[in-house]
Structure 1
Amino acid sequence: MARRSLKYLLNRYTLSFRNRIVVIAVGMVICLLSLVYTNRMAHDLREKEQHDVEVWAHAMEQASRDAFGGSVNDPLIKGILSNRNNIPFIITDERLNVIQSHLVPREVLDHPDRLRRQIDRFTEENQPKTVNYWWGPEHRHIIFYGKSKLLKGLYLFPYVQLGVIFFFIFIGYIAFRSSKQDEQNRVWIGLAKETAHQLGTPTSSLLGWIEYLRSQPVDQEAVEEMNKDLTHLLKIVDRFSKIGSETVLQKATVNEVVGEAVMYFRKRIPRNVTLDYNGLAIAPIEANINPALFEWVVENLMKNALDALQGHGSIDVRLSMDDQNVMIDVKDTGKGIPKSNWKRIFEPGFTTKTRGWGLGLSLSRRIIEEYHNGKIAVVESEPGKGTMIRITLKRFFDA
């Protein structure tokens, strides 16, 4: 039942994830088309402005046939120029003496060096147009012109648009990541609650059977061991039920909490596996923890270490501390983890086992990082030699 519930929740999450990917992909395509279209508009506008200037030049040449030496002041030419008043230009003679200008500041025109730089900029933007007059090739005017404000805006717009797009992509990524994490949290919380619910009925029944066996002429030592396992199972049910609920932290001695998990685990490991623990031989270390959930994490790390040993090897659980933190290291001599998977093993659903859901280390990280404000990570591992995972928590100091 729990496995079917997990499958349903995961399928629902996967569908939601795919829908978001489709929306992002469609948005990116629309943005790309917009960029291409804007660039095309800018290209067309530039060609139009260049064509307009060519028309002006031809119009000035034509007007010179009817107005000897006075083409620039001819009303027709002025009309043509004024109708295209969004293009900055400077008209000079061959010696670069300014004859007429438009949209060029007076302080530029009055300063020879600045005027020259402005002419050079116009030349870089567009090829100057030469107006040849009918009375002789030595009489020519030159039109230096630049890009209109509209054209400059269109050229600049794609960069602004890209900036806006990347900004919204960044915001979308943050929102998506947060939404994705919320979805995952709902999946794992739902699974944990469902698991606790499913285990509730059989554990209650087992409690009744334990009481019955205590009244029967059977090996009571075996019954007591069964009771210890049932008590541990009840702890697990209680831990699952706490996932998603408000977690209460309290001052506790880390040595003792970890020691209880080690002592329970030590009686249930194969003979060819050794389990060492140094916590009971060092000074007490205190931290704010939820003992039930923290003990669960330690058990889960030892269980993973045991699976990695495949029946023989050693597990070493060690406590250490510095001025601010307490470190709990669980080290094994098992098959090891490739470095590419050091972070992936804490992702929901990731597992290298033929059986399992890949939830243990994911829930462990959630308990340590979100509930205890600590850290959990692989600090060393090598295929064929073993792995060490470290939990880091802030120490508790009396005020």
Structure 2
Amino acid sequence: MFNKGFNFTNMLFMMAIAIVSGTIVYSQYIAQQIAGKERLAVEAWVEAERTILNATDTVSLNLAAKIITENTTIPIIETDDKDQPTGNYVNLDSSAVKEDPQYLQKQLAVFKRYSKTPIEVKLKAADSTSIRYYYGQSKLFREAQWYPIVQLMLVIMFVWIVIYSLRTRHKSGQNQLWASMAKETAHQLGTPVSSLEGWLEILKEKEDSKSIAAEIAKDVNRLQLITDRFGKIGSTPKTELCKPYERVQMVMEYMKKRSSDQVQFQLNGGNAVNTECLLSPTLFDWVIENLLKNALDAMDGKGSIEIDMKQDNWQLEICVKDSGKGIPHNQWKKVFQPGFTTKKRGWGIGLSLSKRIIEQYHKGDLFVQSSELNKGTVFCIQLPLAN
């Protein structure tokens, strides 16, 4: 499915490039045609101007006047033989000419870049004095030039919308899959847990089995907690006002009892000991547990784990630092992808689920803050404060 989406995206990009490339080539051809026709139109206009100056019959005057009045789009500036504006112009803003004495000079500089060779008219055959005409771009010519750019933007927008829709659909499908797997796991765990609870009550009635029953009860409670966690995936969990410091401390103590004596745990609450956030306690505890398990796996049973908490004006930050193997920089984002793992066992869903829990249910963020090979990694959680 992913490969099909990837191939479709590539095909879409190739089609977009082909469309835009073809449009650019064709629009350039059209622009050149328009430019050629506009120069002929300006030459005809200049000839009409000369006819008006020299004509003696009414027919020639009327024809020349018609040609001049028909030019309503091409701006023209008349200059002397030293390229100084004479004050005659057409299709320019008259109010701008009056307000800015340099307006014609500025427009003339622009026109010279467009019509590099002016159209020159000799005033008298025996005289070297002449008048020059420079012209600028018409509205039609500018539209022909801008058209491929506008089309390129529209094509990019269209491609982006399609790709965004495909990714959203793919992500939605993934979320549904994870939610279904989680709920099915919770359902499957429910039956044996209920059965274990029944056997546990029988054991409690026997004096010689009470100590065993107490330990089994702890594991049964643990299974119930796991069932509850998986059951909450895919549905909107209820949040309540909690002190994250207390939740982190409780999970750390639990993990500490179940880890090697050669692992040192340290919790620094800083100014966040009494900070309150809206949390789903069950899911939040799961995230902290996953981060601590990840840290323990990275250290192979020996090292230190330090949890630092601090609050600023708008968020709470919880950083879990270990002295383990570290993560290469190019894998900082990959560790949160479903199925990605560097361990020999496991499905690689712990960090992925943790990130989803923090981002989707707690409106926070979970990321790798820093990591150095053979020195350790720092995972950071950012949570919004309770209003």
1:115/1:242 CA distance change after superposition, 3 Å: closer
Is 1:298 equivalent to 2:298 in the alignment?
A: no
State the Cα distance separating 1:240 from its structure 2 match.
Answer: 1.1
Give 2:29's aligned residue.
40
Amino acid at match of 1:231: N
State the Cα distance separating 1:236 from its structure 2 match.
Answer: 1.2
Give 1:352's aligned residue.
342
State the Cα distance separating 1:297 from its structure 2 match.
Answer: 1.0
CA distance in 2, matches of 1:258, 1:70: 99
Q: State which of 88, 102, 105 in structure 1 corresponds to 2:75.
A: 88
State the Cα distance separating 1:18 from its structure 2 match.
Answer: 5.7
Amino acid at match of 1:70: A
Q: Which digits, 9 at most, give the CA deviation of each residue in 1:44-78, with x for residues without a partner?
A: 31133234445667x779x98xx994399545545
1:256/1:222 CA distance change after superposition, 3 Å: farther
State the Cα distance separating 1:378 from its structure 2 match.
Answer: 3.1
Q: Which digits, 9 at most, give the CA deviation of each residue in 1:374-396, with x for residues without a partner?
A: 44333343211122323344566
Q: State which of 181, 192, 197 in structure 2 corresponds to 1:191.
A: 181
Give 1:103's aligned residue.
91
Is 1:377 equivalent to 2:362 in the alignment?
A: no
Check the 8 A contact 2:122/2:130 in 1, yes or no.
yes
Q: Which digits, 9 at most, give the CA deviation of each residue in 1:314-371, with x for residues without a partner?
A: 3344556567765544332210123443344334443333443332112212222332
1:287/1:153 CA distance change after superposition, 3 Å: closer
Is 1:390 equivalent to 2:380 in the alignment?
A: yes
Gaps of 5+ in 1: 1-10
Give 1:70's aligned residue.
55
Amino acid at match of 1:41: I
Q: State which of 290, 312, 324 in structure 2 corresponds to 1:334.
A: 324
Q: In terms of mean alpha carbon deviation, does 91-100 or 370-379 score higher?
A: 91-100
Check the 8 A contact 2:363/2:383 in 1, yes or no.
yes
Amino acid at match of 2:26: Y
CA distance in 1, matches of 2:320, 2:98: 79
CA distance in 2, matches of 1:124, 1:226: 89
Secondary structure of residue in 1 paired with 2:378: strand
Amino acid at match of 1:129: I
Matches within 5 A, 1:281-296: 286-296=276-286
Check the 8 A contact 2:85/2:105 in 1, yes or no.
no
Check the 8 A contact 1:60/1:71 in 2, yes or no.
no
State the Cα distance separating 1:164 from its structure 2 match.
Answer: 5.3
Check the 8 A contact 1:60/1:131 in 2, yes or no.
no
Amino acid at match of 2:220: L
Give 2:298's aligned residue.
308
1:55/1:329 CA distance change after superposition, 3 Å: closer
Check the 8 A contact 1:313/1:333 in 2, yes or no.
yes
Check the 8 A contact 1:128/1:144 in 2, yes or no.
yes
Q: In terms of mean alpha carbon deviation, does 385-394 or 358-367 score higher?
A: 385-394
State the Cα distance separating 1:151 from its structure 2 match.
Answer: 0.9
State the Cα distance separating 1:243 from its structure 2 match.
Answer: 1.3
CA distance in 2, matches of 1:323, 1:115: 58
State the Cα distance separating 1:192 from its structure 2 match.
Answer: 2.0
Amino acid at match of 1:87: I
**What TM-score do the two structures reach when normalised by structure 2?**
0.75
Check the 8 A contact 2:77/2:85 in 1, yes or no.
no
1:258/1:122 CA distance change after superposition, 3 Å: closer
CA distance in 2, matches of 1:387, 1:112: 68
Gaps of 5+ in 2: none
CA distance in 1, matches of 2:79, 2:310: 84
Check the 8 A contact 2:267/2:306 in 1, yes or no.
yes
**What TM-score do the two structures reach when normalised by structure 1?**
0.73
Q: State which of 356, 361, 369 in structure 2 corresponds to 1:366.
A: 356
Check the 8 A contact 1:17/1:180 in 2, yes or no.
no
